[in-house]
Amino acid sequence: AKTINIALVGNPNCGKTSLFNIASGAHEHVGNYSGVTVDAKKGYFNYKGYHFNIYDLPGTYSLSAYTPEEIYVRHHLSEEMPDVIVNVVVASNLERNLYLTTELIDMDISMVIALNMYDELEDSGNTLDYNTLGKMIGVPMVPTVSKNGKGIDKLFDTIINVYENQEPTVRHIHINHGPIIEEGITVLKNELKTDPRILKHFSPRYLAIKLLEGDKEIEILLHKEQNYDKWIAIRDKERIKIEKTLGEDVESAIANEKYGFISGALKETLTLGNKETARTT
């Protein structure tokens, strides 16, 4: 059987562990393999002739390096290099949950979104055109209720399709951060691209964005490279340009562009119902 390594990535309390438990089942082997600081589990199961290794990773709101959870998740993604990421999001709280998604898109790893707690979205009376949203972000979205297993087969069918490059929704898009930031990303990316050694674990675009943001972990990772001083000089120049032009620090500017992209996409795909009516009928 072919083996597919998958990692569950999402905010705290989005239903990752519920999904993990349903998928790996009570009969399969589950082991804690994490260190002391964060909670993570690995499980195994077989489905449609595939052998899945599934990692339940700690909950995170972003992929920076400010908390042990963020560092752990990023380290897992860059070192274990899962075949497919399952980004678990709360369907009724996409504005917030999709921020992490935009960072995963920057990393350019194959991905499926589990639109979890879909029952709560339906109860709210709101409707989401998730097929269109999935096409807009280039990532297939599957509604799930990981509390009871609804949608889980469809989720794993989609993971298999993504793994086999047979999923039409998949597109390698990038989030547009506006002309000034994109220029900085492009200049840095083109420099980083000439050093294949560092691109084994991270996409050049992700490294460029994180360098612009001043990510200390990424700086430490790149520090021993021959061209490091040159990259940092270019980075500093681009940072000053961005801060002067946009009038805010680079990290905020990048975050604002990401939130702008999300709210634009949701404006086109999320229709608010009348919650009060939905409750009383």
Where do contacts with ligand GDP occur on this chain (CB under 6 A)?
Answer: 10, 12-18, 59, 116-117, 119-120, 145-147
List, in sequence order, every residue forming a beta bridge with 56; answer none if it has no partner: 8, 41
Whole-angstrom distance, CA of residue 174 vs CA of residue 157: 25
From 2, 6, 17, 69, residue interacting with Mg ion (rule: CB under 5 A): 17
Is 10 or 134 the residue whose CB approaches ligand GDP more closely? 10
273 is in an annotated binding site: no
Instruction: Write down the least CB distance from residue 222 to ligand GDP, Å.
Output: 32
148 is in an annotated binding site: no
Give the C-alpha distances (Å, rounded to integers) separating 142 from 17, 80, 87, 92, 214: 17, 24, 11, 14, 34
Contact 18, 146 (CB under 8 A): yes
Whole-angstrom distance, CA of residue 21 vs CA of residue 156: 14
With CB atoms as reference, the residue minimizing the distance to Mg ion is 17
Instruction: Write down the least CB distance from residue 34 to ligand GDP, Å.
Output: 13
Instruction: Write down the least CB distance from residue 61 to Mg ion, Å.
Output: 14
Instruction: Write down the least CB distance from residue 198 to ligand GDP, Å.
Output: 31
35 is in an annotated binding site: yes
Structural element, H or E, at residue 73: helix 68-79
Is 97 or 203 the residue whose CB approaches ligand GDP more closely? 97
Contact 15, 147 (CB under 8 A): yes
Give binding residues for Mg(2+) as ranges.
21, 24-25
